[in-house]
Amino acid sequence: MRQRPRTLSRPVGPRNVESRSVESRKPVVFAALAAFLALGLTGGCARKEQPKPAEGPSALPLQTFARQWATDLKLRNDPVRTLHVREQSVYVYTRRGRVAALARDTGAIRYTFPVKNGRDKLFAPVVMNDPVTISMQVPTLDTKQTTRVLSMTASAVVFPTTSTMEVYDRDTGKFIDSVDLPFAVTSNAVGSAGMAYVGGAVRASARASAVDITQPYVPVKWQLMVPGVGITAGPALWQDAVFIGAEDGSVTAVTTAGREPIWPLPGGVFKTGSAIVGDLSVDDECVYASSTDTKLYALNRNNGRIRWTYHSGATLRAGAAVTSDMVYQFAPGRGLVAIDKKAGKFNRDPLWVAEDATQFLAQDDRNAYVRRRDNAIVARDKRTGEVKFTSRRRDLDVFGTNTLSEDGIVFAATKEGRVIAVRPILRPGVIGEMVEVDLTPVE
């Protein structure tokens, strides 16, 4: 019998569906089964993929920056103003006069407090490395004697304000005393053995003063007058000598004990051609004075005679950063200048000039680490100035200068109070954590 041909319009009921060939359904069934097995949803004997173990710390790539530590001070409407790097601590100053002391090696917050009168002006901290015995006045209940003197021994840190020196325990942050001053402080201070040396203004003259923070009465032991000008440059201290720069261009060396002149020069004074407003520096051979007469002077520490000079061609208002072998000077319009302090001509030529750099940050045996205008951190070869690597990070606003230990550690902060210490990776096999993902080698 001839079969009737199928047409697409012929109705197909359930019975016709069941009667379809099983062979035609196998590919669909097996495909679905394979998909379930691949997704690990079938249970049975299917082998599930084991999760990968979490990766631990890995070796960091060379020529990058790693995070040493990071501390968030969580400041609210009180931005970071300055960072001061000292031997044991990093001191963070805020705009409203609050101080936070962070452990230099770990970033742990040692203490934080507002400094009296710090909102108006707060100068760089003076750390007394050796313990001193401090006498202070304390109130009593005796109607005949309203105060009495107590003594305590402590390692002190001094925070100078415009009218006082606020003394705290260096290790605990405990308040010790407030030393009232009979003059207005105009410069950063240096100190040792309970004595602080600072520039100040009294009526129409400037005076460098030696202040004994251990005594409750008459704390000023001596003063050196500089008529008609100011003292805004921080002095420098070396053992029993203090060196003072003034706005009349003079540099004076006197003994700490009684301000006796040290240098065998006319009047015991070296004169530059214009005002000195940047802090002085000193090492075992020279005193370094940056003058607005455009010159950086390296003076023999013992006699005040010129060892060498650098002619910048720019008005120098910032003091030099001095390391064991180099001097770094910022010159407006030129950039950051690197000078070999031990070798070279009398009129020194710089080893290199970083035109886009504004601040020296740190150095190690290979590189100098500098702040670029856009707040990036740049590693430059210490001898040639060649850029080795740089950072992409731009959110760091405030930087400290690290000259006390040549370990290459850079200390910086955002205005909101996130403080970080970063170290360069220069040797293979160093384990650690990158400074987030935005500090990478230059491409």
Q: For residue 138, what pLDDT is reported? A: 61
Question: Which residue range is the domain that position 385 belongs to?
Answer: 68-114+353-443
Among the residue ranges 56-65, 101-110, 159-168, 256-265, the one predicted with the least confidence is 56-65
User: Which SS3 state, helix, strand or coil, does residue 121 take?
Assistant: coil
CA angle 142, 144, 149 (to 5 degrees): 65
Q: For residue 47, what are its two tokens?
A: 């082998």
Q: For residue 432, what pLDDT is reported? A: 60
Q: For residue 18, what pLDDT is reported? A: 39
Is the residue at 388 inside a domain? Answer: yes
Q: For residue 29, what pLDDT is reported? A: 41
Return phi, psi of residue 15, to 5°.
-65, -40
Long-range CB contacts for residues 252-256, cutoff 8 Å, separation at least 24: 252/208, 252/224, 253/287, 253/301, 253/304, 254/224, 256/192, 256/195, 256/197, 256/210
Q: For residue 135, what pLDDT is reported? A: 82
Bridge-partner residues for 224, per DSSP? Answer: 208
Is the residue at 294 inside a domain? Answer: no
Is the residue at 140 inside a domain? Answer: no
Q: For residue 62, what pLDDT is reported? A: 74
pLDDT band at 393 (very low <50, low <70, confident <90, very high): confident
Does the pLDDT of residue 279 top 60, yes or no?
A: yes
Q: For residue 132, what pLDDT is reported? A: 87
Is the residue at 409 inside a domain? Answer: yes
Instruction: Give me the mean pLDDT over the 170-199 stretch.
Output: 96
Instruction: Please state, in angstroms and rounded to a whole number, the distance separating the CA atoms of residues 392 and 325.
Output: 29
Q: For residue 342, what are its two tokens?
A: 């031990």
The mean of the pLDDT values for the chain is: 86
**CA 401 to centroid of chain Cα atoms:** 5
Q: For residue 19, what are its two tokens?
A: 């009667």
Q: How far is CA 402 from CA 87, 109, 341, in A?
A: 9, 19, 18
Is the residue at 406 inside a domain? Answer: yes
Among the residue ranges 3-12, 107-116, 152-161, 305-314, the one predicted with the least confidence is 3-12
Q: How far is CA 378 from CA 104, 333, 403, in A?
A: 22, 19, 17
Q: For residue 304, what pLDDT is reported? A: 98
Q: How far is CA 435 from CA 143, 425, 432, 441, in A?
A: 61, 11, 10, 12
Instruction: Please state, in angstroms and rounded to a whole number, the distance separating the CA atoms of residues 418 and 75.
Output: 9
Q: For residue 228, what pLDDT is reported? A: 84
Instruction: Give me the mean pLDDT over the 256-278 stretch.
Output: 96
Instruction: Give me the mean pLDDT over the 256-266 stretch.
Output: 96
Please state the domain count of the chain. 1
pLDDT band at 149 (very low <50, low <70, confident <90, very high): low
DSSP letter, residue 7: -
Instruction: Please state, in angstroms and rounded to a whole number, the distance separating the CA atoms of residues 408 and 424.
Output: 7
Q: For residue 143, what pLDDT is reported? A: 57
CA angle 318, 212, 134 (to 5 degrees): 125
Is the residue at 385 inside a domain? Answer: yes
User: Which SS3 state, helix, strand or coil, does residue 236 take?
Assistant: strand
Q: For residue 281, what pLDDT is reported? A: 98
| CB-based contacts of 291, cutoff 8 Å, min separation 6 | 249, 272, 273, 274, 275, 276, 297, 316
Instruction: Please state, in angstroms and rounded to a whole number, the distance separating the CA atoms of residues 134 and 149.
Output: 10
Q: For residue 265, what are its two tokens?
A: 């020069």
pTM: 0.82
Instruction: Please state, in angstroms and rounded to a whole number, the distance separating the CA atoms of residues 57 and 406.
Output: 26
Is the residue at 29 inside a domain? Answer: no
Q: For residue 152, what pLDDT is reported? A: 82
The DSSP string of 135-157 is EEEEE-S-SS-SEEEEEEEE-EE
Q: For residue 14, what pLDDT is reported? A: 40
Does the pLDDT of residue 439 top 80, yes or no?
A: no
Compute the residue count for the chain.
443
Q: For residue 30, what pLDDT is reported? A: 46
Contact 421, 47 (CB under 8 A): no
Q: For residue 59, what pLDDT is reported? A: 67
> How many CB atoms neighbour CB 27 within 10 A?
9
Instruction: Please state, in angstroms and rounded to a whole number, the distance separating the CA atoms of residues 152 and 132.
Output: 8
Return phi, psi of residue 16, to 5°.
-65, -35
Q: For residue 331, what are its two tokens?
A: 């010159």
Q: For residue 25, what pLDDT is reported? A: 47
Q: Which residue has the higher pLDDT, 404 or 263?
A: 263
Does the pLDDT of residue 335 top 50, yes or no?
A: yes
Q: For residue 412, what are its two tokens?
A: 């910086």
Q: For residue 15, what pLDDT is reported? A: 40
Is the residue at 303 inside a domain? Answer: no
Q: For residue 392, what pLDDT is reported? A: 81
Contact 332, 292 (CB under 8 A): no
| CB-based contacts of 306, cutoff 8 Å, min separation 6 | 297, 298, 299, 300, 346
Report pLDDT digits (tens) over 43-69. Answer: 443 344 444 444 545 666 778 888 999
